Structure 1
Amino acid sequence: MLTSKYSVAALASFVVLMTGTYAASAEDLKIGPNGEALSVEASPALAEKLPADLKGGTLKIVTDPSVPPYTFYQADGSTLTGSDVDLGNAIAAKLGVKVEWSTVKFPGIIAAIEAGRFDMAITSMGDTPAREQKVDFVDYSTDGNAIVVLKGNPLGIKTIADLCGKSTAVLQGSVMQGLVEKQNEKCADNPINIQVFPDINQALLQVRTQRADATMYQYGVAAYIIKTSPDAANLEVLAFEQYGSGYNAMPFKKTSTALRDAVQAALTELKADGSYGKILAAWGMEANGLDTFTVNDGLRFNQPSN
C-alpha cells in the first residue's frame, strides 16, 4: 500500500476559530487542474455530530489513484489530485477536521473499510445492493460505463452484445466486471473471454497491445485518460451507448453511522453554499452532480458487482 499524508492545513482545509465560527480562507483550498481558490466555512453544528475520536481530529480517507479525473497523481508521482480529492478536502473543511489520504488498489478498498483501517473512501465506487451487504454508502455523484476499443474500432463493436466471442479485460470487483459477466450469460456457445485485472491501467494495456479486444470502464474516466495520456492515444471510447449508469458513493463501516450521517450533511451544506458545484465544474463534471445525497440507494440503479 502506498500512503500519502496531507493535513487539511497543508493541502486544503485548515480551520481556525474566528468570531465564534470556523472559517477557511480562500487560499486554504485549491481545486481543479488549475488550482482555483475555494473558501469553505466549517460548521460547528456538523462537527458536533462526529464521533468523539474524530472531533477536531483527523479523518482517514482511502482512494485508488488510477481513475482520473476522480483521483490520480500529479506529475510528481506522489501528490494526489482530482475531483474526489477536492471533494474529500472540502468535506473535511466543513467538518472542521484534518484529513489523511492513503491509497489502495480498488479491489482491496471495501475490505480495508470493513477492517477499520480507514474511516471512509472516495474513489468513484458504485453503490450496489451487493456492496451494501458489507458497507454503508453516501451517494455523491453519478456516472455511466462505456466500451473502450482500439482507435478506429477495427472489430466494429457497437454494443455490449458484440463482446460475445471476444476477449474483454475488466477491473476486478468492479461494476464493469459485473456487466460483462451478466452479458456473458447471454452469449450461449460464443462466450466472452473475460480477463480480470486489479488495475484499470492494466486492462487498458491489454487493449492497447491487442491482447484483449475491448475493456469497459466509467465513461468519464476512460474519456479523460484517452484525451490526456499519450499512452492511450491509440484507444477510443464508444460514447454512443453507456451501460450500468449509477451512483458514485463513499463507503463507510457499518458501525460508523454517526460519521456517515455527518458526511451526508456536510455534502448537503457544500451543495447549498455552492462549493460542491464549483468542484465539479472545475473538473468539467457538472453533468455528474446530484441534487440530493442519499444513503444506501443502490437499488435505484441496481448495478451488478462483486
Structure 2
Amino acid sequence: MMHKHVFRALAVAAFTCLLAGPGSATAQTTKSAGGTLVVGTAPKYPPFESKDPETGNTVGFDVDIIEAVAAKMGSKVEWQDTNFDQLLSSITTKRLDLIVGGMADTQERQASVSFLDYLRLDSIFYTLKTQASKFPSMDALCGKRVGTARRTIWPDAIAAWSEEHCVKQGKPAVVVVGTDGSPDTRLQLNQSRIDAAVQGAPTLPYQNKLEGNKYVQVGTPFLPQLMGMGFRKNDAEFGTKLKTAFNAIIADGTYKKILTKWGLEGSAVDAARINGKQ
C-alpha cells in the first residue's frame, strides 16, 4: 500500500508538470534559481537593439546592458524576439522575466509592469537635412505631417504638444501619421510622405552615422523621460537585485564603457531607479 501511495503521488506530480508546459517553468523559476533570465525585445530600434546583418544576432546598447547586469546577478540570458506591442503582455503573462526595447517608463505602463530606469530618453522632432530650412523653429511643425511609430507613446505626445503649441495659438494642428516603427518612419520621411518625425534623441546621432548625416533635429527635446527595462509589477525582490546589479556596473565603469561604445554618453543616468524613484 505504501508503494502504491508513493507511485500515485509521483504520477500526480508528473502530470502537473506536464500541464504546466515547458514555457511556464522557464520564466517563473529562473529568477529565484539565478540561472537564466528570459529577456524579450523587439530588435528594430538601433542603437538599442537590432539584428546584425552578418550574424543574425541581436545586438545593441540594451543587449550589452542586460548581459552586464545579468553577469552581476550570476545569471545567463536567453533572448526572445517579439513585437514591441507584445512586450508588456509577455511580462504580465509570465512568459518573460525582463523586457527591453527603447521603452519609456510611463505611469500608464507602470499599471502593468515595474521598470528599472537605466537611460535618459528625451524625445525630439527631426527632419531631413535637405528640408531643415522649412523648420526654423518648432512652430513650423504646426500643420505639417509628422510620423512616428504608432505603438509607442509618441502619437499621443505629439498630439498633446500640437494642442498646446499649435491649436491654442490659433495655428493648424500637427497631422500625426502612425508608422510601423522607426525604419518605416525614416522610409516615409525619405519618400516625402511625411514632413518630419519623432524618435528618441539618443538614436539620431547613431542613425546619422549609418546614413551619412541625413537627419537634423528640429528645436529642442519636447518630452524628457527615462527609459526602463520592465519586470513583473511589485516583484520587489527581483527589482532590488536588478537595482543592485545596475549600480554595480555604474560603479565599476562598465556602464560608461557601454555608453561610449554606442555613442550614448549624453543620456547617462547617475544611479538606478525603480519607476523613476531612487
Q: How far 1:202 sits from its partner (Å)?
A: 0.9
In 1, the alpha carbon distance for the partners of 2:39 and 2:29 equals: 18
Gaps of 5+ in 1: 1-50, 301-306
For residues 211-243 of structure 1, the C-alpha deviation after alignment (integer angstroms, 9 at most, x for no partner) is 1111111122122113213xxx58412165222
Partner of residue 216 from structure 2, selected from 226, 237, 257: 237
Q: How far 1:255 sits from its partner (Å)?
A: 4.4
Trace 1:151-166 onto structure 2 (pairs within 5 A): 151-153=129-131, 156-166=134-144
Gaps of 5+ in 2: 1-27
User: What value does the CA root-mean-square deviation take over the aligned residues?
Assistant: 2.3
Q: How far 1:183 sits from its partner (Å)?
A: 2.0
Give the aligned partner of residue 262 of structure 1: 241
Partner of residue 225 from structure 1, selected from 207, 210, 228: 207
1:243 corresponds to which letter in structure 2? F
Trace 1:139-218 onto structure 2 (pairs within 5 A): 139-153=117-131, 156-186=134-164, 187-188=166-167, 190-218=172-200
User: SS at 1:117's partner residue?
Assistant: coil
Q: Residues 159 and 241 of structure 1 are in contact (CA less than 8 Å); yes or no, is this contact kept in structure 2?
A: no
Q: Decide which moves more: 196-205 or 239-248.
A: 239-248
Structure (1/2) with the larger helix percentage: 2
Q: Residues 126 and 218 of structure 2 are in contact (CA less than 8 Å); yes or no, is this contact kept in structure 1?
A: no
2:232 corresponds to which letter in structure 1? K
Give the aligned partner of residue 230 of structure 2: 251
1:181 corresponds to which letter in structure 2? A
Segments of 4+ moved more than 4 angstroms:
none
Larger radius of gyration: 2
TM-score, normalisation: structure 1: 0.74
> Do the aligned partners of residues 256 and 159 (structure 1) sit closer, same or farther apart at CA in structure 2, a change above 3 Å counting?
farther
For residues 89-142 of structure 1, the C-alpha deviation after alignment (integer angstroms, 9 at most, x for no partner) is 111111111111122232222222222221111222111122212211111111
Aligned-residue identity in percent: 27
> Do the aligned partners of residues 107 and 172 (structure 1) sit closer, same or farther apart at CA in structure 2, a change above 3 Å counting?
farther
For residues 190-227 of structure 1, the C-alpha deviation after alignment (integer angstroms, 9 at most, x for no partner) is 22221112311111111110111111111221221132
Q: Residues 146 and 237 of structure 1 are in contact (CA less than 8 Å); yes or no, is this contact kept in structure 2?
A: no
User: SS at 1:78's partner residue?
Assistant: coil
> Do the aligned partners of residues 109 and 155 (structure 1) sit closer, same or farther apart at CA in structure 2, a change above 3 Å counting?
farther
Corresponding position: 1:58 with 2:40: no
In 1, the alpha carbon distance for the partners of 2:55 and 2:184 equals: 18
Give the aligned partner of residue 10 of structure 1: none
